[in-house]
């Protein structure tokens, strides 16, 4: 029944919404902002708590302003992501621009047949950033994802993420897939979102946005095991519905690095990205739900 409802009602509605022109989207986006922020208050306490703890120097008024800015951006991101259903590659490329510097790095990696790990956070519109990548490079994206609980939405998101030839793989299978491709001398870009809440016992602990924070160390582990570079994907919003994407070289050479060094470096890059435009990060995440164990790496 759920499958029938999705295909008869929900998907046609989403497809219709995806046809909205960008000049029109600000109207329904503002209405959605009013709904999730003013009426429902979707995770409002989580957002404000996260902002207060991350920016203890800010006044209550400044926190409230940031909260409003975040929810307005969040509403835009929802419509932007729905736009992917019918959005052309030409349109996506126009709205998600990879810098000349990033494109030069892509050419270099392709010419050397060299894989690399690309770490990004939930900044700007991460779905656009990942999907648009394949429009700028011939090197396949090995995207790591966590399956959604709803099978129909999960299938839809996989379809959108696979649209330009990306290889989307569940986290538990990524090492096997990466080693398989590496043994065949096929280079890929391993795309990882590394700012989600990590298990406290098996993660790297560092200070992030003024708080003790557990961080997944998978990006560092992959870079070490295969001796490949680690890059941070920096996202900047140039204007409404437009993003600029660049690569920051966290470590071109991973040999000789101390355990945790690469993880700390890409977390610091993420923090800098957030501090430039705080409202562009996904503050609804319960990022700090775990407490630091008595014994940890820091």
DSSP assignment of 29-84, as one string? Answer: HHHHHIIIIIIS-TTHHHHHHHHHHH-TTS-HHHHHHHHHHHHHHHHHHHHHHHHT
Give this prediction's pTM: 0.92
Contact criterion met (CB below 8 Å) for 253 and 40: no
CA pair distance 83, 14, nearest whole angstrom: 9
Per the DSSP assignment, residues forming a β-bridge with 39 are: none
Q: Are 192 and 144 in contact (CB under 8 A)?
A: yes
228: nearest Cα among 197, 290, 182: 182
Task: Identify the pLDDT of residue 296.
Answer: 62
Per-residue pLDDT reduced to its tens digit, 19-59:
999 999 999 999 999 999 999 999 999 999 999 999 999 99
**Residue 292 per-residue DSSP state:** P
- Per-residue confidence in pLDDT tens, the chain, 298 aa: 778 888 899 999 999 999 999 999 999 999 999 999 999 999 999 999 999 999 999 999 999 999 999 999 999 999 999 999 999 999 999 999 999 999 999 999 999 999 999 999 999 999 999 999 999 999 999 887 777 788 888 888 888 888 877 888 877 777 787 778 878 888 899 999 989 888 888 889 999 999 999 998 889 988 888 888 999 999 999 999 999 999 999 876 666 667 788 999 999 999 999 999 999 999 999 999 888 887 666 5
pLDDT the model gives residue 121: 95
- Give me the half-sphere count of Cα atoms (radius 13 Å) on the Cβ side of residue 129: 27
∠ CA 23-28-32, rounded to 5°: 140
Q: Which residues contact 234 (CB under 8 A, 6 or more apart)?
A: 245, 246, 247, 248, 269, 273
Report d(CA 110, CA 137) in Å as an integer. Answer: 8
User: Which sequence spans correspond to the domains of the chain?
Assistant: 90-280
**Predicted pLDDT of residue 169:** 81
How far apart CA 72 and CA 30 sit, in angstroms, is 7
The pLDDT value given to residue 282: 97
């Amino acid at each position: 029944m759920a499958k029938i409802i999705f295909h008869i009602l929900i998907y046609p509605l989403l497809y219709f919404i995806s046809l909205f022109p960008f000049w029109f989207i600000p109207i329904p986006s503002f209405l959605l902002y009013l709904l999730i922020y003013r009426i429902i208050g979707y995770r409002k306490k989580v957002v404000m708590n996260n902002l207060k703890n991350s920016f203890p120097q800010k006044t209550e008024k400044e926190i409230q302003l940031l909260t409003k800015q975040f929810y307005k951006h969040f509403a835009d991101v929802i419509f932007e992501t729905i736009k992917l259903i019918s959005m052309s590659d030409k349109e996506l490329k126009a709205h998600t621009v990879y810098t000349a510097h990033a494109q030069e790095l892509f050419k270099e990696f392709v010419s050397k047949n060299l894989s690399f790990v690309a770490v990004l956070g939930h900044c700007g519109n991460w779905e656009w950033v990942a999907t648009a990548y394949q429009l700028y490079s011939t090197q396949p994206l090995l995207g790591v994802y966590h399956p959604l609980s709803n099978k129909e939405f999960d299938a839809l998101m996989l379809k959108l993420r696979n649209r330009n030839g990306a290889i989307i793989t569940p986290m538990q299978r990524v090492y096997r897939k990466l080693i398989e491709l590496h043994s065949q001398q096929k280079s890929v870009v391993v795309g990882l979102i590394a700012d989600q809440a990590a298990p406290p016992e098996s993660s790297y602990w560092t200070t992030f946005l003024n708080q003790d924070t557990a961080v997944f160390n998978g990006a560092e582990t992959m870079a070490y095991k295969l001796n490949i570079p680690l890059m941070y994907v920096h996202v900047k919003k140039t204007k409404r519905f437009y993003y600029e994407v660049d690569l920051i070289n966290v470590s071109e050479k991973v040999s000789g690095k101390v355990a945790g060094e690469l993880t700390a470096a890409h977390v610091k890059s993420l923090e800098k990205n957030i501090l430039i435009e705080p409202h562009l990060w996904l503050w609804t995440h319960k990022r700090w739900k775990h407490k630091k164990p008595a014994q940890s790496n820091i």
